[in-house]
Amino acid sequence: MEKLEHIGIAVKNLEESNLLFAKLLGKPHYKIEEVASEGVRTSFFDVGGVKIELLEATRPDSPIATFIEKRGEGIHHLAFGVNQIENEMKEKSNAGFSLLAQQPKDGADNKRIVFLHPKTTNGVLVEMCEDRN
């Protein structure tokens, strides 16, 4: 893994949270994007080269809706940038980490993504992401 790419935060209301985080960080979000396959709308802030990704569910059966129902709003995941996601998946799997998918999926911000199961990462949902070409 190359660097901390972003911190994902689950929110109930993206517009309200954008206002809150703009006030907190002293700058507006720079992008809103929907990932229909994941049932989520995202908003991004850049903080010194690390992104804050706010995630709002767009349907009640999405992973973000389920997360908020169980745990409430808050930090959802840590995402690390990788160069060759398939190689990273193989390495992490061989090292005993469980993957939540066998193939990377298209995610927000022009990334291919895969998550590691939090049961194998001390309760932290970890995302690996690679820039799509």
Tens digit of pLDDT per residue, the chain (133 long)?
A: 789 999 999 999 999 999 999 999 999 999 999 999 889 999 999 999 999 999 999 999 999 999 999 999 999 999 999 999 999 999 999 999 999 999 999 988 899 999 999 999 999 999 999 998 7
pTM metric for this prediction: 0.90
116 SS3 class: strand
Q: Which long-range contacts (CB under 8 A, 24 or more apart) does 119-128 make?
A: 120/96, 121/97, 124/77, 124/78, 125/76, 125/77, 125/78, 126/77, 126/78, 126/79, 126/80, 127/8, 127/77, 127/78, 127/79, 127/80, 128/1, 128/79, 128/80, 128/82, 128/85, 128/88, 128/89, 128/92
Distances from the Cα of 118 to the Cα of 59, 81, 97, 127, angstroms = 23, 18, 9, 10
| Cβ 126 vs Cβ 113: under 8 Å | no
pLDDT value, residue 65? 96
Confidence at residue 17, expressed as pLDDT on a 0 to 100 scale? 97
Task: Write down the pLDDT at residue 111.
Answer: 92
User: What is the reported pLDDT for 132?
Assistant: 87
Q: How far apart are the first and last CA of the chain?
A: 18
